[in-house]
Structure 1
Amino acid sequence: MQTESTLLTLSDWRQAYLRGARAADLLSARASRLASDSPARAWILRLSAQSVAQRAAELDALMPAGADEEARRAVLVRLPLFGVPFAVKDNIDVAGLPTTAACPEHQKVPAECATVVQRLLEAGAVLIGKTNLDQFATGLVGTRSPHGGPASVFDAGRISGGSSSGSAVAVGRADVAFALGTDTAGSGRVPAGFNQIVGLKPTPGRVSTAGVLPACRTLDCVSIFALTADDAAVVLQVLEGPDTRDDYSQFTPGPALLQARRGAVLGAPLRIGVPAEPKLRAQDGYDAAWDAACRQARSLGAELVALDFQVLHEVAQLLYEGPWVAERYAVLEQLLRELPQAIDPTVASVVRKAESQRAVDAFR
């Protein structure tokens, strides 16, 4: 039987439970390992071993000892994330746990979970803890936190990327099978790339942001970190769907991602936009990796369409230099006035740009 340290993907966890493993055994071993091994800077809060054990016992009660494989499989169909450990970025609410967004002075203890967390729990997932981030999800480096910045899983001298730094590192180290972050300007995709894992940013509105501290409310997305694209697709299928708590939520039936990966024909061939001039030209093999990725996409039948990305760079600048900064300011205005020292200086310098903006700037 596999030990918890060899369980990486959702498929690994599923197969272990199909063979008769108990959640209590696997998760207590995982919690014990993390207590002594996991880098503190990736986590802001980890649940106690007792809390994890209680959750595992609740799940084991749904999978009676001695049940045959068919009965176990039925439970796993009903609970597709049964007994799978996960983490959430600390700007996402978990009932009874503090949400700080890496600013202890901004702490609140919510009475209910964010919709995304609730859906994961209802699918059988087991929360391990809350992860570090660039304060108020403002940054792409992972270092703007009073808890320090977690390093890349490959090199302690390199940054993890941000803002969802801790979630990316927790998955990259296989502390958890998947994690939630947020992504407005790259906060999910950048740290995923820096730690060589999958970072999925869903289309805005496809996944609820109810219970997520806003950075830029009109553009915020909950992102998914996983070790494989299949795993990210499974988690997305659990999370997606309309939510009356979120005014931006949309009904999005969309294609079945797993069916697409298994060869189902879903319509027109996939067209992928790529920079007309990639401008990577960097060290450490980035160009070779880029070329290999393009070849792989073509081999799978995708059409690569060269685009001028300059307009996208200009749009991206609006998030930190243009009128969208006002959305961040609306969230932090009171804290900036009453307790400015609580805010990271770089974060404050970004958000304060809104103080000199005029309404007309939003339409330029």
Structure 2
Amino acid sequence: MHHVRTVYDRISAAGRPEIWIHLRPRDEVEAEVAAVDPGLPLAGRLLAVKGNIDVAGLPTTAGCPSYARLPDRDAPVVARLRAAGAVVVGTTNMDQFATGLVGTRSPYGAVRNAVDPDRISGGSSSGSAVAVALGMADFALGTDTAGSGRVPAALNGIVGLKPTYGTVSTEGVVPACASLDCVTVFARTLAEAETALAHMTTGVSHPPERIPGPWRVAVPGPGQLGELDSGVGDAYEDAAARLAAGGARLRPLDLTPFTEAAAMLYEGAFVAERYTAVGEFVDEGHPDLDPTVAAIISGARDVAAHRVYADRARLASLRTRALDTLGDADALLLPTAPGHPTLAEVAADPLGTNARMGRFTNSTNLFGLAAVAVPSGTVRGLPFGVMLIGPAHTESRLTRIAALLTDPPVRLAVVGAHLAGQPLNPQLLALGARQVATTTTAPSYRLHALSTDPPKPGLVRVTDGSGARIEAEVWELPAAGLGALVASLPRPMAIGRVALADGTSAPGFLCEPEAVGDARDITGYGGWRAYRASVGRERDS
């Protein structure tokens, strides 16, 4: 129960009641955690849920008390996480009816930023993001129609993972624009976000086949990012440079179709879908309606039908252009938001400030893409984040690329079938690895040809002075990529420290000693490539 006590102590000490709409009593949460099977993958992990997603027994308000309903069952996405062992702490504040990217449009109060309380937290999933950032929950659910699962992540220094539309059920979610809404997850690390998403999805989707090689990351052409707050452009360039240093290949992209589509989400006919969702309720004129939200939704009532069809045709054209310019790139790198406004700036210009916040995020769901927002340092002492956007169902690929920004790369020594040009090298390339050195091991190893398919050698360290130097390559890859490789490694292969010729060492492929008893000793060839070449010559002779 120590974890629950720690979280509730943080909630009490923070003095931030605007984060929550309904916070469950601590003793209820402690009792539920105690009853969870400790063998479940999310056992005892504390979950915050955006206030427009059903949690059995807690009112679903969508940020409007007079709209509240009391669900008798969880939304499927909440039920799936609970079945995996997660325990709900409470429901969180939000821009009313998920209409906003600022986090201030709520009768429960403006949700202030986790780092600077004079700044916005971002919306509409404001409470969920700040709860995670301040350690009041291990992870949280948000929703994302125009960027609400990404902008709050960037402004509070956490991860926001937005899956492809339809990957996670939106049943039991108060709709904003039902044809675009996505349930998203906030976490403090990529690994936590990926783990949660794995239990949220309704099925397995497979991305298009990817030709192995370095990650291909598109970046906008010069001047296409538009007006940015001071320091944001430099921070973005630094993120792009770090991706390149991590082995990604950057290529230019015309951002125009993305920004033109982004403007259509609120300025065009698509806003009419917000009226379809809750317009009749808003027209009743309840006193707890946020005036900005009410004006946006009521104003959408009069959108002409012909505009809807015209905008759909224009969007189809923009989507074709956007996907053409994206080409075979694995991801598009963008700042998540162009700046970080103060609460006063939003109060002075609520519509203009909100529109600016969605410049880079609004088009993602209109184009049917996946995205992940990750921290990327600070700008003037405030959290700064970037976003990777990719084709549908490439969430796993995007998180591996994002790991180049959030996890320092690790080295891996290879001596056999994973060498450049060898049959298993594509496994490394698919994990974002890049070759950084060609060398040899220290003179303390023997190499054996194993009877495997495809053929692989077994590298074994010896201490009797009979060892030799073996040809080796050193590769760099994200730490998460190394973890995936270790998890998939078949016996008798293993990962251990390999001593290199320059006196350093790195994790590398070794072999269990008992597996080489009957294997041919090929140490004398000096390496796997030389041995395989000799086998080819023998076969040809």
TM-score w.r.t. structure 2 length?
Answer: 0.54
Q: Determine whether 1:31 maps to 2:8.
A: yes
Partner of 2:354: none
The alpha carbon displacement at 1:221 in A equals 0.5
Taking the aligned partners of 2:230 and 2:269, their CA distance within structure 1 comes to 36
Taking the aligned partners of 1:164 and 1:56, their CA distance within structure 2 comes to 25
Taking the aligned partners of 2:286 and 2:135, their CA distance within structure 1 comes to 37
Q: Determine whether 1:195 maps to 2:156.
A: yes
Measured against aligned partners, the alpha-carbon deviations of 1:173-220 in whole angstroms (never above 9, x if no partner) come to 111111110111011111111111111111111111111111010111
- Secondary structure of residue in 2 paired with 1:224: strand
Taking the aligned partners of 2:199 and 2:191, their CA distance within structure 1 comes to 13
How many matched pairs? 308
Measured against aligned partners, the alpha-carbon deviations of 1:49-71 in whole angstroms (never above 9, x if no partner) come to 12101111202xx34xxxxxxxx
Taking the aligned partners of 2:211 and 2:107, their CA distance within structure 1 comes to 46
Mapped contact 1:189–1:199 kept (Cα < 8 A): yes
Paired residue type of 2:288: A
Taking the aligned partners of 1:252 and 1:53, their CA distance within structure 2 comes to 36
Mapped contact 1:178–1:227 kept (Cα < 8 A): yes
Taking the aligned partners of 1:207 and 1:254, their CA distance within structure 2 comes to 16
Paired residue type of 1:323: A
Mapped contact 2:53–2:75 kept (Cα < 8 A): yes
Q: Which has the larger radius of gyration?
A: 2
Taking the aligned partners of 1:132 and 1:362, their CA distance within structure 2 comes to 31
- Secondary structure of residue in 1 paired with 2:238: helix
- Secondary structure of residue in 1 paired with 2:63: coil
Taking the aligned partners of 2:306 and 2:34, their CA distance within structure 1 comes to 57
The alpha carbon displacement at 1:35 in A equals 3.2
- Secondary structure of residue in 1 paired with 2:269: coil
Partner of 2:220: 275
The alpha carbon displacement at 1:352 in A equals 2.2
- List aligned pairs for 1:283-302, cutoff 5 A: 283=229, 285-302=231-248
Mapped contact 2:224–2:256 kept (Cα < 8 A): no
For structure 1, the residue ranges without an aligned partner over 5 or more in a row are: 1-23, 64-74, 243-250, 256-264
Taking the aligned partners of 2:111 and 2:101, their CA distance within structure 1 comes to 13
- Secondary structure of residue in 2 paired with 1:87: strand
Taking the aligned partners of 2:286 and 2:263, their CA distance within structure 1 comes to 25
Partner of 1:161: 122
Q: Determine whether 1:321 maps to 2:256.
A: no
Measured against aligned partners, the alpha-carbon deviations of 1:57-96 in whole angstroms (never above 9, x if no partner) come to 202xx34xxxxxxxxxxx2xxx221111120110011011
For structure 2, the residue ranges without an aligned partner over 5 or more in a row are: 311-541
Question: Given the superposition, is the C-alpha separation of residues 206 and 268 from structure 1 closer, same or farther in structure 2, using an over 3 Å criterion?
Answer: farther
Mapped contact 2:8–2:136 kept (Cα < 8 A): no
Query: CA RMSD, aligned part only?
Result: 2.0
Paired residue type of 2:270: W
Taking the aligned partners of 2:140 and 2:48, their CA distance within structure 1 comes to 5
Taking the aligned partners of 1:339 and 1:282, their CA distance within structure 2 comes to 37
The alpha carbon displacement at 1:233 in A equals 1.1
- Secondary structure of residue in 2 paired with 1:148: coil
Question: Given the superposition, is the C-alpha separation of residues 25 and 340 from structure 1 closer, same or farther in structure 2, using an over 3 Å criterion?
Answer: closer
The alpha carbon displacement at 1:172 in A equals 1.1
Partner of 1:130: 91
Paired residue type of 2:59: P
Partner of 1:66: none
Question: Given the superposition, is the C-alpha separation of residues 309 and 353 from structure 1 closer, same or farther in structure 2, using an over 3 Å criterion?
Answer: farther
Question: Given the superposition, is the C-alpha separation of residues 343 and 57 from structure 1 closer, same or farther in structure 2, using an over 3 Å criterion?
Answer: same
Partner of 2:178: 217
Partner of 1:56: 33
Question: Given the superposition, is the C-alpha separation of residues 211 and 270 from structure 1 closer, same or farther in structure 2, using an over 3 Å criterion?
Answer: farther
The alpha carbon displacement at 1:282 in A equals 4.0
Identity of aligned residues (%): 45
- Secondary structure of residue in 2 paired with 1:324: helix
Question: Given the superposition, is the C-alpha separation of residues 363 and 303 from structure 1 closer, same or farther in structure 2, using an over 3 Å criterion?
Answer: farther
Measured against aligned partners, the alpha-carbon deviations of 1:100-152 in whole angstroms (never above 9, x if no partner) come to 01100100011111111111111111211111110000001110000111111
The alpha carbon displacement at 1:319 in A equals 1.9
Partner of 1:139: 100
Mapped contact 1:241–1:252 kept (Cα < 8 A): no
Of residues 279, 286, 301 in structure 2, which corresponds to 1:333?
A: 279
Mapped contact 1:169–1:195 kept (Cα < 8 A): yes
Considering fraction of residues, name the structure with more helix.
1
